[in-house]
Amino acid sequence: MPYLGSEDVVKELKKALCNPHIQADRLRYRNVIQRVIRYMTQGLDMSGVFMEMVKASATVDIVQKKLVYLYMCTYAPLKPDLALLAINTLCKDCSDPNPMVRGLALRSMCSLRMPGVQEYIQQPILNGLRDKASYVRRVAVLGCAKMHNLHGDSEVDGALVNELYSLLRDQDPIVVVNCLRSLEEILKQEGGVVINKPIAHHLLNRMSKLDQWGQAEVLNFLLRYQPRSEEELFDILNLLDSFLKSSSPGVVMGATKLFLILAKMFPHVQTDVLVRVKGPLLAACSSESRELCFVALCHVRQILHSLPGHFSSHYKKFFCSYSEPHYIKLQKVEVLCELVNDENVQQVLEELRGYCTDVSADFAQAAIFAIGGIARTYTDQCVQILTELLGLRQEHITTEIQPES
Amino acid sequence: MIGGLFIYNHKGEVLISRVYRDDIGNAVDAFRVNVIHARQQVRSPVTNIARTSFFHVKRSNIWLAAVTKQNVNAAMVFEFLYKMCDVMAAYFGKISEENIKNNFVLIYELLDEILDFGYPQNSETGALKTFITQQGIKSQTKEEQSQITSQVTGQIGWRREGIKYRRNELFLDVLESVNLLMSPQGQVLSAHVSGRVVMKSYLSGMPECKFGMNDKIVIEKQGKGTADETSKSGKQSIAIDDCTFHQCVRLSKFDSERSISFIPPDGEFELMRYRTTKDIILPFRVIPLVREVGRTKLEVKVVIKSNFKPSLLAQKIEVRIPTPLNTSGVQVICMKGKAKYKASENAIVWKIKRMAGMKESQISAEIELLPTNDKKKWARPPISMNFEVPFAPSGLKVRYLKVFEPKLNYSDHDVIKWVRYIGRSGIYETRC
């Protein structure tokens, strides 16, 4: 988009927004506002029509309201004096009978990143925390975090924090999770939200009612809870066992991490934990989605760093298919290198040897490097293979082998 | 959690940008420079630049990137990006530059709802459609308002009360993807089938459904005898390695009796995902024969055998035979289908429209090579296949899907049920 014409565009839109004919026709009015937003997204400076947009926010049309609020949230930091005018409408909308309008207004007000807005936000947020509709409560809880983010230096409001802690017992599952996130941000200086025994047990009991995002978050927060006794530990493991087989890969990974960390605290439980975790992780490594496959492979590598040889019997799962993307093949080769043991070394070396003559020079070199790594323990076989490869006299292979020897 | 979300087109121009945290300043440009315009062809889905992590997903030629400076759950971020794509597709179809530009307002609305302050919120498409306004105001009556709140906070969040259909129907699709890696000697190196059961239900009320398949554990439990007896009586059972279910399935019942019972969401949803690695029916067997004649010619003969019932037809069969980089010309002879040498892809592509079970087809090719000074030995890439078959390669068979709705006056017999099996090839490679 040429920036040269932006002034003309702004003038034209200003005229259109002030035109009473357009204002009377709901659809046309909305179209003009949509054009403003479009130019804004493309990078043109639309702050010239701020006044007209503020006037447009006084409407019954929810879609139009959303558009105007979006505009205001983007430009408020640039024109703080004008934005204060908009706040009046927003405050009014926070008491609208329709819960969606209330939620929308509250959310927009909290996203106004400009100094001085704090005094106006506090009351609506407090009202929102006690609103009948769960939709509004969710927005209000996150609003507390946004408010704190804006004014990082100010003191933490103790009353607000207490209110949020009590909302952890709310009926609506999303409100509960939002509370955790909010408290985490607000109490960052003190190390985040405190997960004590009653809170941990309360969360564990509600896990099944949460959606996948909530479950992943709670699993993350539970990392900081330390079970006092082995009995408690096993209770937790049994409760969370089903999440290892969740249909959401994010939840599976979160549960895996929690299990492994719990195992570190009680080492003799480690074997049991690893057995439970192995299945889902291996399944994820052959996932159809490439990104999740990549993430799972990275996790497997991490586990092998601390517990080498754990997946050794499943080495075949890490053989590379020709059509897999580069980044997955590289991860698999690294994993193969780490899980070599007496039983599978022959087959693994043969497979790696096949990769050394691959079309892609990067991949071939990675395979050679891996053979070099294995050579530290199984010198004879590796040296034999490397000598054979040298015999092929291919430059990129030879350069890689030299440092190995 | 997520500091910023950006959508770019193939040129790297920003289509949608939403920043949630102040420290994600120049991330928009950083991603474009370091990932989209990077010189490497294939980029890792996770990139770390200066303590900022970029996660991206590509759909046709659109890039979706999530940026964060915190230590987040990577799988969660990708799952969110996929969900974002699903939701957008549910609203306006294919994800393309044009569709995004035409619906950018809707996308901003959606982002507000599902990713408030960088934290994923409610993202069930059904619930979202009730409160994302697309056309005009919907002044909600009190009834609708209460319905929305109860759907969002109620016992059963995935199905609302009072659904009525004249015709009660349901469609079950068993979609499988069979993956194979075979050695040159014909030995299976690794094979697995990943499948999903997708259900489209148009049922009234709040029906209880029970899904039964030929799960080995269930059959053995029912006392129909040991594995030997079942194979004798012709009833095949499959051993599922692991499976995951939709939220609506009662897991406690599955753990105790291995039965899958649920109240389905209205419309289409994925009931379960599973994987099997044993007793897979490999629909095709590829037998390659490669002979090097001197240094200037390569003779290749590939036989494919279809390994399923003669009454079934496989479709969209494609066999790719890779050729060396220094190929000068190729002559192919095949009785069935059409084969063409594609120099740009370095492969002979053999396409057969349809093939019945228990049949054999053959292709022979003579590949002429240019003499090269390069003493590089050509590492033969494997022969890969694509196909679609109307049965489940894992051997899964739907035994029943019973519907009970005691409150309304229709019974299990009144429901019209359709089942179909679609088995596709995933990565199906035979080394040669």
Q: How far is CA A82 from the centre of its chain?
A: 35
Q: Which residue has the tokens 């060396």?
A: B324
Pairwise CB contact (< 8 Å): B377 & A357? yes
**Tokens standing for residue B1:** 């959690």
The torsion of the CA quartet A104, A109, A111, A115, rounded to 10 degrees, works out to 180
- Residue range B173-202, pLDDT digits in tens: 999 999 999 988 888 888 989 999 999 999
- Looking at residue B60, the DSSP 8-state letter turns out to be T
Least confident of A181-195, B58-72, B283-297, B391-405: A181-195
Cα Rg, chain A, nearest whole Å:
29
State the DSSP code for A286.
T
DSSP E strands, B123-224: 169-182, 188-202, 208-213
Most confident of A71-85, A134-148, A285-299, B382-396: B382-396
pLDDT tens digits for range B236-278: 788 887 788 887 888 788 878 888 999 998 888 889 988 888 8
High-pLDDT (> 70) share of chain B, %: 87
* Alpha-carbon distance B9 to nearest alpha carbon in chain A (angstroms): 13
Beta bridge partners of B172: B199, B419
Are the C-beta atoms of A167 and A141 separated by less than 8 Å?
yes
CB atoms within 10 A of CB A112: 24
Q: How far is CA A46 from CA A29, A35, A41, B107, B286, in A?
A: 17, 10, 10, 20, 63
For the residues B396-408, what does the mean pLDDT come to? 89
> With bands split at pLDDT 50, 70 and 90, how would you rate the model's confidence at B154?
very low
- Among B39, B322, B44, residue whose Cα is nearest residue A330: B44
Tokens of B409: 């006056």
Q: Give me the pLDDT at residue A40, please.
A: 79
pLDDT of amino acid B162: 80
Look at A75-89, B47-61, B410-424 and tell me which has the smallest mean pLDDT.
Answer: A75-89
Mean per-residue pLDDT over chain B, rounded:
83
d(CA B107, CA A101): 19
B110-153 pLDDT, tens per residue? Answer: 888 888 888 888 766 666 666 565 543 333 444 444 455 444 44
Task: Supply the DSSP symbol for B382.
Answer: P
Ramachandran angles phi, psi of A382, nearest 5°: -65, -45
Mean pLDDT, residues B403-414: 86
**Nearest CA distance, B368 vs chain A (angstrom):** 20
Mutate to test the interface with A, among B198, B244, B372 (most CBs of A within 10 A): B244
pLDDT band at A192 (very low <50, low <70, confident <90, very high): confident
CB contact under 8 A, B119 and A249: no
* Cα–Cα nearest to A197, from A232, A240, A164, A147: A232
Place of tokens 């025994």: A197
Lowest mean pLDDT among A162-176, B217-231, B314-328, B357-371: B217-231
Q: Does A317 sit within 8 Å of B190, measured CB to CB?
A: yes
Does pLDDT of A154 surpass 70? no
At B363, the pLDDT band (50, 70, 90 cuts) reads very high
Give the model's pLDDT for residue B374: 64
Question: Shortest CA distance to B42 belongs to which of A362, A80, A108, A227?
Answer: A362
Q: Is A395 exposed, middle or buried (0-12, 13-18, 19+ CB in 10 A)?
A: exposed
Q: Average pLDDT, whole number, for chain A?
A: 81
Q: Is the CB of A135 less than 8 angstroms away from the CB of B241?
A: no
DSSP conformational letter for A256: H
pLDDT bucket at A293, cuts 50 / 70 / 90: confident
CA distances (Å), origin A62, targets A100, A103, A105, B78, B109: 9, 12, 10, 31, 11
Mean pLDDT of B166-175: 92
pLDDT for residue B39: 65
Would you state the pLDDT for residue A393?
A: 63
DSSP state of B3: -
What is the rounded CA–CA span in Å between residue B351 and residue B320?
9
Cβ of A142 within 8 Å of Cβ of B181? The answer is no
CA distance B244 to A207: 17
In this prediction, residues A274-301 reach a mean pLDDT of 82
> By CA distance, what is B142's nearest residue in A?
A98
> What b/e string do you get for B399-421 counting C-beta neighbours within 10 Å, with b at 16 or more?
eebebebeeeeeebeebebeeeb
pLDDT for A2 equals 45
Q: Which of A107, A216, A284 sits opposite B73 (nearest CB)?
A: A216
Contact (CB<8Å) B190/A211: no
Q: Is B197 helix (H, G, I), strand (E, B) or coil?
A: strand
pLDDT value of position A335: 86
Nearest CA in chain A to B245: A247
State yes or no: pLDDT of B386 exceeds 90: yes
What is the pLDDT at residue A110? 84
* A176, closest residue in chain B (CA to CA): B121
Q: Do A250 and B247 touch (CB under 8 A)?
A: no
A321 vs B44, B194, B429: nearest CB? B429
Q: Looking at the predicted structure, is the pLDDT value of residue A119 above 90? A: no
Q: Is the pLDDT of residue B398 over 60?
A: yes
Characterize A354-387 residue by residue with b for buried, 16 or more Cβ atoms within 10 angstroms of its Cβ, and e for exposed: ebbbbeeeebbbbbbbbbbbbbeebeeebeebbe
In this prediction, residue A339 has a pLDDT band, given cuts at 50, 70 and 90, of confident
SS3 B416: strand
**Angle between helical axes of A62-75 and A26-42 (0-180°, round to 10):** 30
Helix A212-221 and helix A249-265, axial crossing angle in degrees, nearest 10: 20
pLDDT given for residue B391 in this prediction: 92
- Residue B269 Cα distances to B75, B173, B263, B272, angstroms: 21, 10, 12, 9
Quick count: other Cβ atoms within 10 Å of Cβ B182? 23
Q: What is the mean pLDDT of residues B329-334?
A: 91
Over residues A141-154, mean pLDDT? 80
Find chain A residues with C-beta within 8 A of B133's C-beta: 62-63, 66
Across A3-22, average pLDDT:
77
Residue A21 has a pLDDT of 80
| Token couple for A253 | 């990974």
Q: Is the pLDDT of residue B229 over 60?
A: no
Amino acid (1-letter code) at residue A247? S
Low-confidence winner among A132-146, A299-313, B80-94, B120-134 (lowest mean pLDDT): B120-134
Is the confidence at residue B226, as pLDDT, over 70? no
Is 0.85 exceeded by the ipTM?
A: no
Q: CA B140, B143, B148, B153: dihedral to nearest 10 degrees?
A: 150
Using alpha carbons, select from B376, B396, B246 the residue that is nearest to residue B324: B376
Per-residue pLDDT at B155: 54
Q: Which residue from B46, B194, B273 is facing A247, i.e. has the nearest CB?
A: B273
